[in-house]
């Protein structure tokens, strides 16, 4: 059975086509700059990679071209081969505790909560609508970033603010990257050979979140009401004193939305280094003894360590720490510096293994009190699995 996993952004559409008989990727790619001049697409299949500029006024054109190319390139013989389409939805609030088949009622609920993720959910919904038109016989499934975190208890997800803010406005911690953390939890269950374990999952990319997981369920997570909270990220500040916002508004004559935009787009590594939001660029400058970049890198490491230490105490210890996503999977130096600061917890890593090119590996030594792994995440596969399960239900 063939299933598409879709991640639709405001001006992009990423896809992976899976053969679910063996969970292999048949083709993947991205449509970029939708609704913007210079739009184009890239499709990868077998050993080929095709990139072409094309006019993409809306997501519907991107979807139609994608399906046309899948047929024209012989990747599929007909559209009926695609039995389901799974869609990444960033925010499901506390309405959606698991993935669901999309129907009119689901779309109405998604419309009602779109303002909780204004940069993401409307775009995700555009992707659903486009595929409903293009593949009316395929099952459409919504997979929520927030669903995995619905197992948090009130002490974890409530803020110490007037309770009516939660009751009336839905102000609470929702988290993000849940599909990634869920995938990592399943992989660790296999690696440890038990369903009883304490895991600290570190999804560290341009965005990042740390999640405390006990026996496969989320206990707490670093992102909050929005993905702005938690650790320091590429361009996001992470946790700050909220009194900073009115202070900057007064000093710079900005409104609240403009300051929040600064915290989302011009803070984090970018803000402290005043150079780049990409860790690779920052580390290159660190090697040149650039003081701002050194401070930015050190602060980035420190905030991750803060959350790992916090969750170690919350879980009453840890059986495993996992690094995943762009920085977590690919940056040996950042992993090493984080683990060095965790030596007081008994963490010891093998530098040679940490530095080798294998993407999936155990980097802790035999004497380490906590197993430390690098595991590439696969959110697209999780979306496809959920879609298949709902088709077969």
Which are the catalytic amino acids?
Answer: 145
Report which secondary-structure segment, H or E, holds 245.
helix 244-252
Cβ neighbors of 93 (< 8 A, separation 6 or more) are 113, 116, 146, 170, 174
From CA 5, how far away is CA 385, in angstroms rounded? 9
**How far apart, in whole angstroms, are the C-alpha atoms of residue 289 and residue 299?**
16
Instruction: Please identify which residue in the block is written with the tokens 């495993």.
Output: 320
Q: What share of the chain is helix, strand, coil (3-state, %, to 5)?
A: 45, 20, 35
Distance in angstroms (rounded) separating the CA atoms of residues 371 and 363: 8
Question: Maximum Cα–Cα distance for the chain, whole Å?
Answer: 61
Other C-beta atoms closer than 10 Å to the C-beta of 36 total 12
Point out which residues pair with 15 in neighbouring strands: 6, 29
CB atoms within 10 A of CB 100: 21
3-state SS assignment for residue 187: helix
Q: Provide the token pair at 48.
A: 């080929």
| Cα–chain center distance at 181 | 8
Distance from C-alpha of 134 to C-alpha of 112, rounded to nearest angstrom: 25
């Amino acid at each position: 059975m063939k299933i598409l996993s879709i991640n639709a952004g405001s001006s992009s559409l990423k896809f992976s086509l899976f053969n679910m008989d063996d969970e292999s990727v048949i083709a993947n790619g991205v449509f970029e700059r939708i609704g913007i001049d210079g739009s184009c697409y890239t499709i990868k299949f077998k050993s080929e990679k095709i990139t072409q500029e094309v006019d993409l006024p809306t997501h519907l054109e991107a979807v139609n071209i994608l399906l046309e190319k899948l047929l024209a390139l012989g990747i599929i013989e007909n559209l009926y081969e695609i039995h389901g389409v799974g869609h990444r939805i960033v925010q499901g609030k506390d309405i959606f505790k698991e993935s669901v088949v999309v129907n009119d009622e689901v779309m109405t609920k998604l419309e009602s909560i779109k303002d909780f993720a204004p940069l993401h959910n409307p775009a995700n919904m555009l992707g659903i609508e486009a595929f409903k038109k293009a593949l009316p016989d395929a099952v459409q499934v919504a997979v929520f970033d927030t669903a995995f975190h619905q197992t948090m208890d009130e002490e974890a997800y409530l803020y110490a603010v007037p309770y009516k803010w939660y009751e009336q406005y839905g102000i609470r911690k929702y988290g993000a990257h849940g599909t990634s953390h869920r995938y990592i939890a399943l992989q660790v269950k296999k690696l440890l050979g038990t369903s009883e374990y304490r895991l600290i999952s570190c999804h560290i990319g341009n965005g990042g979140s740390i999640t405390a997981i006990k026996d496969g369920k989320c206990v707490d997570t670093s992102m909050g009401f929005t993905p702005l909270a938690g650790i320091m990220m590429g361009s996001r500040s992470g946790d700050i004193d909220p009194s900073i916002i009115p202070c900057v508004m007064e000093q710079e004559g900005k409104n609240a939305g403009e300051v929040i935009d600064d915290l989302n787009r011009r803070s984090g590594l970018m803000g402290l280094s005043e150079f780049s939001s990409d860790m690779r660029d920052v580390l290159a400058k660190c090697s040149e003894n650039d003081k701002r970049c050194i401070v930015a890198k050190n602060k980035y490491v420190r905030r991750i360590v803060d959350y790992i230490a916090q969750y170690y105490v919350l879980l009453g210890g840890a059986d495993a720490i996992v690094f995943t996503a762009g920085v977590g999977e690919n940056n040996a130096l950042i992993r090493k510096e984080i683990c060095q600061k965790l030596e007081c917890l008994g963490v010891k890593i093998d530098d040679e293994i940490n530095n080798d090119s294998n993407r999936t590996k155990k980097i802790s030594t035999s004497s380490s009190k906590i197993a430390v792994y690098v595991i590439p995440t696969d959110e697209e596969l999780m979306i496809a699995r959920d879609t298949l399960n709902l088709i077969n239900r």
